[in-house]
Amino acid sequence: MANQNQVLQALSSEGGVVTTENLATSVGTTQDTIRALCSKLKTKGYVDGSTKEGWTITSDGREVLERGLKIPTTPEDVGADTESKFKYYGKLAGVDPDRILAVTEAVLTSDPENLEHVWEVMTQMDIAMPNRRRWFNSWRYYLKQGIPAELKEKVIGSPDEEKGEALSFSAKERGKDYIIVDEEPVRVGAGLGDYGLQDAKDILGIRALRNRFTGAGQPGAPPAATEKVSELLTALGPYINKGSDTDTLKEILADKLALQRQEILSHIPQPVQTAQPKSFIEQITGFVAALSSLKEAGPILRSILGVPETTANPFTPAQVIGLDGQPSVMDLTKVLDLRKFLAEEKRADEKHQTLIKFAETARENIPDGIQAILKTVSEAKAGTEAKTTAASQPQMFECGNCKTPFSAPAGWAGQALKCPNPQCGREYSKEELLK
């Protein structure tokens, strides 16, 4: 897990302004962790800048590195001896390092477990009341001692003070015990974190949702709203921790919100305005279109404007006998349309009936038609056979004198023939035979 020392070291080695992203890459952690750690370092005066502008190491930060002093962040860093513990709680309480050294020297001259003496030294060293109480109480808890009776009023404070400082302390800092490290809330101490536990959980939930829909860690993607809110909170953290005045906070908030507004507006498509004025034809076309739409909305407009209806009645009454046999009054136009429709229906029905009759007739007559065709075919066949038979049989003649029948010989080519009756013996020419 990354710590403040690593961040400070990375800032020193990189030199100049380092972005949160680059810092996260060089330290090997997430940007959120870097933001949280840098915020703490900024509170202590070791770094300067913001997530948006980037981070730089301050002269105090360089001095810490040069002196080889580690910022105590873990129990190992703090040390187990009384002096180290006392100094550590002073740092946690946000007391100036010089005053910590001074108070520590003074306390160690006597009994550090004497809480009355400790309080007295802190008062003498002019430690601010909130920081003094925080330091004193941390040390008291470490020693597992209660508040001495004579110090009770001073440590707890008067009711007025409670309303003023103590309550503001609890409201502003006591709840912010957590930072987000590797997508998990990590408690770093009372008032030392960036978020309350619930806030941290909420932010992590929002991030999880965002990652589900957009995909986590997309380089180059525009920062989402939740990230921007996180940045805003991170940027505001130092001011809140330092107890800045309300006007400053309002000013910062207003600036941030203005930036957000501009970004949101930049995503809204603006209507394209034609630079060139409309031509006369285009204006006429638009006017006609507007008139046609007005015509459609005419009755509504008339009713709105209170214009009376025209006296001319478009309804032409006509008395008709309805389909149920009852007389009724209808618009003439509609009557004509109805009659036209009925006539078309009647024609369609008649056409349909005709087709059905034709089909029935055809169906009835198909057998007779087939019989007729067969009969014709058989007649044709019979006629052909009759012709063939007639051609194959020899042609018969009858003698005009003796009435003796005779026939032409096979292969007769029209030569003259004699009557076979020997008593007659008349000779016939071809013309006489075929006569």
Rule CB under 8 A: which residues touch other proteins?
365, 368-369, 371-373, 375-376, 379-380
Cα 147 from Cα 155, distance rounded (Å)? 8
CB atoms inside a 10 Å sphere around CB 32: 23
Instruction: Map tokens 């709840």 to a residue.
Output: 175
C-alpha triplet 292, 295, 299: angle, nearest 5°: 160
All residues at 6 or more sequence positions from 92 whose CB lies less than 8 Å from its CB, including other chains: 134, 135, 138, 189, 192
| Shortest separation between residue 385's beta carbon and other proteins, angstroms | 17
Give the burial string for 250-278 (b: 16+ CB within 10 Å, else e). Answer: eeeeeebeeeeeeeeeeeeeeeeeeeeee
- Which of 339/375 has CB closer to other proteins? 375
Tell which residue, 116, 87, 81, has the closest CA to residue 102.
87
- Which of 374/416 has CB closer to other proteins? 374
- Kindly list the distances between the CA atom of residue 407 and the CA atoms of 398, 431, 432, 435, in Å, as whole numbers in the listed order: 8, 15, 14, 15
- 3-state DSSP call for residue 328? strand
Q: In angstroms, how far is CA 303 from the centroid of its own chain? A: 43
| Shortest separation between residue 376's beta carbon and other proteins, angstroms | 4
| Shortest separation between residue 391's beta carbon and other proteins, angstroms | 21
What DSSP character marks residue 273? P
| Shortest separation between residue 386's beta carbon and other proteins, angstroms | 15
| Shortest separation between residue 372's beta carbon and other proteins, angstroms | 4
Give the burial string for 395-411 (b: 16+ CB within 10 Å, else e). Answer: eebebeeeebebebeee
All residues at 6 or more sequence positions from 207 whose CB lies less than 8 Å from its CB, including other chains: 183, 226
- Which of 225/366 has CB closer to other proteins? 366
The angle that helices 280-296 and 298-305 make with each other, rounded to 10 degrees, is 70
- Which of 300/380 has CB closer to other proteins? 380
Give the burial string for 57-79 (b: 16+ CB within 10 Å, else e). Answer: bbeebeebbeeeebbbbeeeebe
| Shortest separation between residue 341's beta carbon and other proteins, angstroms | 41
- Which of 368/427 has CB closer to other proteins? 368
| Shortest separation between residue 383's beta carbon and other proteins, angstroms | 10
| Shortest separation between residue 392's beta carbon and other proteins, angstroms | 25
- Which of 376/395 has CB closer to other proteins? 376
Beta strands 405-407 and 396-398: pairing type? antiparallel
| Shortest separation between residue 429's beta carbon and other proteins, angstroms | 37
| Shortest separation between residue 377's beta carbon and other proteins, angstroms | 8
- Which of 327/367 has CB closer to other proteins? 367
- Which of 69/373 has CB closer to other proteins? 373
- Which of 76/368 has CB closer to other proteins? 368
Cα 26 from Cα 18, distance rounded (Å)? 10
- Which of 198/378 has CB closer to other proteins? 378
Instruction: Map tokens 């990652």 to a residue.
Output: 211
